[in-house]
């Protein structure tokens, strides 16, 4: 009999944490985080890491187990989490994967192309070029080095262009040659639960959470990373907007406005990613009983 991985996903601020803890208690199982920033032990306030009380209520994996100085990727995440699942499934029939990082979720559910580890100097040089020359210069190089990927990539998405160029420069091969896009077989069932609600209500929740973060000391937390602001792990909503404040480029009011705006935009991008996945069953997070019954019925059908 196959084991079951229940994936609870949704945009930032939707209410995944409390719901997943309650469901994990019902199923008497554990939670694996699929938040690409909650991995970093130094980033707590700005990434809305679960409280100590929440972490103690149910065992969590993949929270605070990396450093901002570590190089990490969706490929590494796939390998690590699959090993964790092997251990969990030795004693439990079900496990929860909870978060909003679409690429990390897909890495577990579908698998990810095996890409090479990128040297830090290559990544730093490209980031410096992006900062000084803008995205157009990177587009030109991508068109030259990998015209096939250039023709299909979102040319406004700087992260994807940077990733493709990193691989091209590191290997001397095209990024396209590494993209098999073949779904990998998994030896467990996957049940996907998507959380969503009225957009304006979600945006209000996001803005309220940003206010709480500042009350909890986000400014001081970010100040401690000022000397490391160029790290990829700190290119994160909630931190990157604060760094200019310390150079007197923005007022505090402007910083808060930008974080709220960029958090809303991030939520929108998350939903765009998730809406492409027809396997997701969508619910309002407030309908906990309905969600729990759906999951139990799905498990019994397996």
Q: What is the DSSP annotation of 136-171? A: HHHHHHHHHH-HHHHTTS-TT-HHHHHHHHHHHHHH
Q: Please give the average per-residue pLDDT across 160-170, as a whole number.
A: 90
Confidence of residue 116 (pLDDT cuts 50, 70, 90): confident
Confidence of residue 73 (pLDDT cuts 50, 70, 90): confident
pLDDT greater than 90 at residue 153: no
- Report which of residues 19 and 233 the model is more confident about: 19
pTM of the model: 0.84
The set of residues, in sequence order, having a beta carbon less than 8 Å from that of 8 and lying 6+ positions away, is 16, 19, 20, 23, 96, 97, 98, 193, 195
Give the pLDDT confidence score for residue 233 in this predicted structure: 87
Give the pLDDT confidence score for residue 165 in this predicted structure: 93
Confidence of residue 159 (pLDDT cuts 50, 70, 90): confident
Q: What is the DSSP annotation of the chain? A: --EEEEEEE-STTS-HHHHHHHHHHHHT--EEE--TTTTBTT--TTTTPPPHHHHHHS-EESSS-B-TTS---HHHHHHHHHHHHHHHTTT-SEEEEEES-HHHHHHHHT-----PPPPHHHHHHHHHHHHHH-HHHHHHHHHHH-HHHHTTS-TT-HHHHHHHHHHHHHHSS-GGGG---PPPP-SEEEEEEEE---HHHHHHHHHHHHHHHHHTTHHHHHHTTGGGTTSGGG-STTTTTTHHHHTTSS-HHHHHHHHHHHHHHHHHHHHHHHTT-TTEEEE-TT-HHHHHHHHHHHHHH-
SS3 237: coil
Strand order in the sheet with 280-283: 60-61, 31-33, 94-99, 3-9, 188-195, 280-283
Give the pLDDT confidence score for residue 85 in this predicted structure: 98
Q: Please give the average per-residue pLDDT across 11-38, as a whole number.
A: 97
Q: Please give the average per-residue pLDDT across 126-151, as a whole number.
A: 90
pLDDT greater than 80 at residue 59: yes
Give the pLDDT confidence score for residue 180 in this predicted structure: 61
DSSP single-letter state for residue 118: P
pLDDT greater than 80 at residue 113: no
Q: Which of 116-120, 210-214, 217-221 has the lowest mean pLDDT?
A: 116-120
Give the pLDDT confidence score for residue 181 in this predicted structure: 64
Give the pLDDT confidence score for residue 196 in this predicted structure: 96
> What domains are defined for the chain?
3-113+182-301 (3.40.50.300), 120-178 (1.10.20.140)
pLDDT greater than 90 at residue 245: yes
Q: Which of 30-44, 159-173, 252-266 has the lowest mean pLDDT?
A: 159-173
Q: Please give the average per-residue pLDDT across 152-166, as a whole number.
A: 84
Q: Which of 73-77, 90-94, 191-195 has the lowest mean pLDDT?
A: 73-77
- Report which of residues 19 and 230 the model is more confident about: 19
Give the pLDDT confidence score for residue 103 in this predicted structure: 86
pLDDT greater than 80 at residue 195: yes
Average pLDDT, the chain: 93
């Amino acid at each position: 009999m196959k084991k079951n991985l229940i994936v609870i996903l949704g945009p930032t601020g939707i209410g995944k944490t409390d719901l997943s803890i309650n469901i994990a208690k019902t199923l008497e199982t554990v939670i694996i985080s699929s938040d690409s920033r909650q991995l970093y032990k130094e980033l707590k306030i700005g990434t809305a890491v679960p409280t100590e009380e929440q972490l103690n209520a149910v065992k969590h994996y993949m929270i605070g187990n990396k450093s901002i100085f570590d190089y990490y990727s969706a490929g590494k995440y796939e390998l690590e989490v699959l090993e964790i699942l092997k251990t969990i499934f030795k004693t439990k029939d079900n496990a929860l994967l909870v978060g909003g990082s679409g690429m990390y979720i897909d890495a577990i559910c579908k698998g990810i192309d095996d890409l090479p580890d990128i040297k830090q100097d290559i990544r730093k040089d490209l980031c410096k070029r992006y900062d000084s020359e803008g995205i157009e210069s990177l587009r030109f190089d991508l068109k030259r080095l990998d015209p096939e990927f250039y023709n299909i990539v979102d040319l406004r998405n700087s992260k994807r262009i940077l990733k493709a160029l990193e691989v091209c420069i590191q290997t001397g091969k095209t990024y396209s040659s590494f993209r098999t896009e073949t779904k990998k077989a998994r030896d467990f069932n996957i049940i996907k639960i998507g959380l969503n609600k009225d957009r304006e209500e979600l945006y209000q929740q996001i803005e309220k959470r940003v206010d709480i973060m500042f009350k909890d000391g986000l400014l001081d937390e970010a100040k401690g990373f000022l000397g490391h602001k160029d790290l990829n792990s700190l290119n994160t909503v909630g931190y990157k907007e604060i760094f200019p404040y310390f150079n007197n480029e923005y007022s505090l009011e402007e910083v808060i406005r930008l974080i709220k705006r960029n958090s809303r935009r991030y939520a929108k991008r998350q939903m765009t990613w998730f809406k492409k996945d027809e396997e997701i069953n969508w619910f309002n997070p407030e309908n906990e009983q309905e969600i729990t019954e759906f999951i139990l019925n799905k498990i019994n059908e397996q």
